[in-house]
């Protein structure tokens, strides 16, 4: 497993002391995490989006030269039960489309039921077009990958390049 490091800016890479402490840091929905140096108390907020589900331990070097380990606590995505209309078009493989009822939404993905017979399988990539029942009727088009198929219920994850959606984040808080 690689050992990623986050370097705080303007830190000369010399004469560091390694703290034996491992601190826990809670990652927010936008992948921001506030790190607190166990030695001097300096805080810094960094983005750890690139570490998502790859490595839950990182090494951080503080300007005070202390090197410490951080255990990233990624919160499980909150699933909001919903009843939204939408439709999908398949991207990989192409050629499939249909109407769907979206039954849950999270920052990580959606679960939906197809309204017709479908041929979706795990690993298929879809473009999912749906409208939130917020006051703006926000329309979202998300690329998703099918993670599970249980009869007419399809569990999907948003693809990595669209990992965080501000409109969706706002909707999930409401
Ligand atoms: Zn420090």
Beta-bridge partner residues of 46: 33
**Domains detected in the chain:** 5-74 (3.10.660), 80-173 (2.40.10.220)
**pLDDT value for 93:** 96
Extract the tokens encoding 170.
């706002």
- For the chain (174 residues), the mean pLDDT of every run of 10, in chain order, is 53 56 78 87 86 75 89 76 95 96 91 94 96 92 93 90 73 79
Beta-bridge partner residues of 31: none
Q: Is the dihedral of CA 14, 19, 22, 25 positive or negative?
A: negative
Residues with CB under 5 A from ligand 1 (ion): 37, 39-40, 42, 62, 64, 66
- Distance from the alpha carbon of residue 18 to the mean position of ligand 1, in angstroms: 11
CB 62 within 8 A of CB 39: yes
- Distance from the alpha carbon of residue 15 to the mean position of ligand 1, in angstroms: 13
Record the pTM.
0.58
């Amino acid at each position: 497993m690689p050992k990623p490091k986050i370097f705080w800016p303007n830190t000369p890479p010399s004469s560091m002391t390694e703290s034996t402490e491992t601190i826990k840091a809670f990652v927010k929905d936008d992948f921001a995490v506030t790190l607190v140096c166990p030695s001097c108390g300096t805080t810094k907020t960094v983005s750890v989006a690139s570490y998502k589900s790859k490595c839950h331990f990182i090494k951080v070097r503080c300007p005070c030269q202390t090197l410490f380990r951080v255990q990233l606590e990624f919160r499980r995505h909150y699933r909001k039960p919903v009843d939204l209309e939408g439709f999908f078009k398949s991207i990989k493989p192409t050629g499939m489309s249909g109407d769907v009822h979206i039954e849950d939404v999270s920052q990580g993905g959606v679960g939906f039921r197809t309204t017709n017979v479908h041929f979706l399988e795990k690993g298929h990539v879809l473009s999912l077009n749906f409208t939130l029942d917020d006051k703006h009727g926000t329309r979202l088009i998300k690329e998703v990958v099918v993670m599970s198929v249980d009869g007419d219920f399809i569990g999907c994850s948003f693809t990595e390049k669209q990992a965080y959606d501000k409109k969706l984040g706002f909707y999930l808080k409401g």
